[in-house]
Amino acid sequence: MTVHNIRVGETKRGDAADGALVEAVGGRLSRVDGPAKITGAARYAVEQQLEGLAYAVLVESTIASGKVRAIDSKAAEAAPGVLEVLTPDTIISLRTAADWFGTPPPDKPYCPLARDITFSGQHVAAVVAETFEQAVAAAAMVKVSYGETPAIVDLSDGKAGDGIPIDAMTKEWGDAAAAFASAPVRICAAYNTPREYQAPMEPHGLIAHWEGDHLTVWEPSQWLDGMARTYAEWFGVPFENVRLVSPYVGGGFGSKALALGHGAIAASAAKMLGRPVRLVMTRAQTFTGYGGRAATRQTVTIGADHDGKIQSIVHRGVNETSIEGMWVEPLGSVTSIMYATPNFSSKQNVVRVNSVVPGAMRAPGENPSAFGIESAIDELAYEVGIDPLEIRLRNYAEQDPHAKKAWSTRQLREAFAAGAERFGWARRTPEPRSMRDGNHLIGWGVAAGTYPVRRAYGEAIVRILADGSVEVESSSIDMGQGTYTILAQTAAETVGVSGDDVVVKLGDSRFPRAGVSGGSRLAGVMTGAVYKAATSALDQLIGLAISDPRSPFHALQANTLVVAKGRITAPRGDGPDVSIAELLKSVGRVHIEATGDTMPANSSAEDRYKNYTTIAMALPHTEGDYSRHSWCAHFVEVRVDEDFGTVRVSRVVSALDSGRLYNPKLAESQWKGGIIMGIGQALLEEGIVDRRHGRIVNNNLADYLVPTNADIPDIETISVGIPDPHSSVLGGKGVGELAIVGIAPAIANAVFHATGKRIRDLPITLEKLI
């Protein structure tokens, strides 16, 4: 369990927007967990010190396809300190758990160690020893022999084929083919994105500890309740018997939302040995132990008239998935809503290849989708000779072209205007290669991005304690996005206490429940839950003060009272002025407690369980009368060395609409993080496969390149959002994923403007430009 309050001197330096208190909602409060992280005081999940801890190390397949013929573990078993060698034959039998939709699983056992190999790096065995070093050494002694079969290496493999059509992804209106055929201007191009990896600073790992049939798991998690359910189902114990603890999360980017095979292995080992077991992946294992972003291919064809008005968009997408698992990266998600078009067709296939099943990575779907459509519209702009910003405005979608519903709010026009103004877009010379500084070709590019507002459920307890302080509890998490901070702000403002007097506790599944921290939904959901709980705690407090005969306000016969800065007064100030602590003492209460949630009223216990442990009940972003999305416009300057082909981003101005910001400082930081990750995606990141072995060879952070400080220019972000009451209780829309969407195409468009070369395969490395 981790506790954070605002009582940290440094955290008050932020300036309050619109003169509000820094610690109120909308204030620029610094992260309350920051000092603990910077000083090293923060203790992460796998740093728990437990009596009798044993260490597990994974053994992975060295072939991409085939069968495990035999595992010779004799030497490993005899090695010093070894407690257990887990193989498919020795590991305890688990049950298959439901997927994240909660779909009832097939009634068959689940074995996290593979006999049938479908990718290189698959877990085939694990060694548990008294020390980590002993386990590492013994794991290297496990001899696995294989019967190898040919692998399908990736999407370009001749054996890969066209894949499986995913009908649910089909979106069509009008007659796109006919309209394209008769359009006076036609463009058609293919866009590819490679495998990319979340590469969180903190690698995946856990400590699993059984006490009888109760399991405690310390594990970095984006979703305690979802993961606890999975563990419970694997081991056939009640949900209540599993406790997940995740005090801090060192980055997830989508990769820490689900319980994964290594977790099942560690928890099995702990059960078999009757000891707590720690398992932490090596950096190399994080490239195959779970999935990064799937490689994708898209073709985008646009038919338009000579004014650049779009008549038809035909989009075909393919993403890779694994041999056994199914991952659909929705490639038509941005294509179908960004621009108004009377005719549209989008279809998608998935292709099975010998890789780990891909997974969620910051804006899955929207991110590659935007690379396609936002590059294609740029190509159209040059084709018809219209400014790339102007063509976007000409095709502005006044309503959701797919759902045919009004936008809840769409400040995209405002984003284009604000970004262009600040960037100085009007000074751009349209011709490619027309801007230069010495050896550097300079290019300016624009692209838009969007991310849907996903809404789900959360609950929280707010307690007003005897000393007048306020305590918030929720099983939601903080992976760096600022949950501790904004929930403290919400409670402080709602109850009417100073920020110093709020303590937020997160990251323990024993607390009131919360859905997944993914899809940029947590802030909107949890501020809503805390707001509701805090409001009802406040109501109780005021109710007591008015009606309890022992209250100093009793004689006043007031309808209501004011609570501010921890003191209670009458609205006109004509009565007593007492602190919350004094009031509670006078009425003889130790605390006031209220629960709040964002669930529909009268939800059954079963519904609640489903809401918090699956994503099945999440509300579609087009539910009801509105279509809800965040929006952004990126303006990017690149400098391309003409001789060397090296691309450096020298300026970024992004204007973003995330609705109301609960804390602008943290929102800006999330946006900038997205933009930085997008720069990596555009210029550096790519999992490189050895085609003969079906293995990722750059599985380390020296060879899988993410941007360094030196690669990142000053980034300016401008908030153009307005409160969106249809999106969340307090009016915010998603923040975390939005800004990565559209950065890669903005950079590719800028590279085209600089060089006249259109790069449609990410990343844009130097050999593509020399």
Partner 1 sequence: MRDFSYLRATSADAARQAAALPGAMLLAGGTTLIDLAKCGVAEPDTLVDITHLEGLDRIEIDERGAIIGALARMGHVADHADIKSRFPAISEALWQAASAQIRNMATIGGNLMQRTRCPYFRDPSNFAACNKREPGSGCSAIGGVTRGHAVLGTSEACIALYPGDLAAALVAFDAVVHLGDRRIPVDDFFLLPGTTPDKEHAIEPGEMITAIEIPASAAARRSTYLKVRDRQSYEFAAASAAVGLELESDGRTIRDLRVALGGVATKPWRARAVEEALKGKVLEPETVRAASLLAVEGAVDHGANHYKIELAPRVVARAILKLGEAA
Residues 6+ apart with CB under 8 A from 420: 389, 426, 446, 633, 635
**CA–CA separation, 548 vs 562, rounded Å?**
16
Q: Which is nearer to partner 1, 414 or 641 (CB)?
A: 641
**CA–CA separation, 28 vs 627, rounded Å?**
29
Question: Would you tell me how many other CB atoms lie within 10 Å of the CB of residue 636?
Answer: 33
CB of 236 to partner 1, least distance (A): 35
Angle formed at CA 557 by CA 555 and CA 558, multiple of 5 degrees:
125
Catalytic residue among 202, 471, 686, 737: 737
Amino acid at 380: L
Residues 6+ apart with CB under 8 A from 353: 152, 153, 154, 155, 157, 160, 320, 321, 322, 323
CB of 210 to partner 1, least distance (A): 27
Q: Is 68 helix (H, G, I), strand (E, B) or coil?
A: strand
CA distances from residue 3 to 34, 236, 513, 578, 608 in whole angstroms, order as listed: 12, 32, 17, 28, 26
Q: Which is nearer to partner 1, 76 or 412 (CB)?
A: 76
Helix residue ranges, H only, 407-521: 412-423, 483-495
**CA–CA separation, 439 vs 427, rounded Å?**
21
Q: Which is nearer to partner 1, 437 or 767 (CB)?
A: 767
**CA–CA separation, 242 vs 238, rounded Å?**
7
**CA–CA separation, 577 vs 590, rounded Å?**
20
Q: Which is nearer to partner 1, 556 or 706 (CB)?
A: 706
CB of 68 to partner 1, least distance (A): 15
Whats the size of the chain, residue-wise? 770
Q: Which is nearer to partner 1, 510 or 768 (CB)?
A: 768
With tokens 């399991």, the residue in question is 215
CA distances from residue 121 to 137, 220, 313, 357 in whole angstroms, order as listed: 18, 22, 40, 12
CB of 368 to partner 1, least distance (A): 21
Residues 730, 25: contact at Cβ < 8 Å? yes
- Active-site residue, 202 included: no
Q: Which is nearer to partner 1, 156 or 439 (CB)?
A: 439
Beta strands of 27-142 (E only): which ranges? 54-60, 66-72, 82-86, 94-95, 109-110, 116-117, 123-129
Question: H or E element: which one contains 549?
Answer: none
Q: Which is nearer to partner 1, 38 or 564 (CB)?
A: 38
CB of 125 to partner 1, least distance (A): 13
CB of 62 to partner 1, least distance (A): 5
CB of 157 to partner 1, least distance (A): 15
Residues 744, 296: contact at Cβ < 8 Å? no
Residue in 764, 769, 762 with CA at minimum distance from that of residue 196: 762
Q: What is the DSSP string of 457-474?
A: -BEEEEEEETTS-EEEE-
**CA–CA separation, 258 vs 354, rounded Å?**
21
**CA–CA separation, 219 vs 329, rounded Å?**
26
Where does this chain bind partner 1 (CB under 8 A)?
Answer: 62, 79-81, 120, 131, 133-134, 137-138, 140, 439, 641, 643-646, 648, 683-684, 688-693, 695, 697-698, 702-703, 705, 707-711, 763, 765-767, 770
Q: Edge-to-edge strands of the sheet including 116-117?
A: 116-117, 66-72, 143-148
Q: Which is nearer to partner 1, 95 or 768 (CB)?
A: 768
CB of 707 to partner 1, least distance (A): 7
CB of 375 to partner 1, least distance (A): 20
Q: Which is nearer to partner 1, 295 or 318 (CB)?
A: 295
Q: Which is nearer to partner 1, 263 or 707 (CB)?
A: 707
**CA–CA separation, 518 vs 527, rounded Å?**
15
**CA–CA separation, 741 vs 296, rounded Å?**
15
Q: Which is nearer to partner 1, 206 or 684 (CB)?
A: 684
With tokens 């949950």, the residue in question is 483
Q: What letters, b where the CB count within 10 A reaches 16 and e where it falls short, cover 643-678? A: eebbbbbbbbbbbbbbbbbbbbbbbbbbbbbbbbbb
Residues 565, 496: contact at Cβ < 8 Å? yes
CB of 137 to partner 1, least distance (A): 4
CB of 220 to partner 1, least distance (A): 22
Catalytic residues: 737
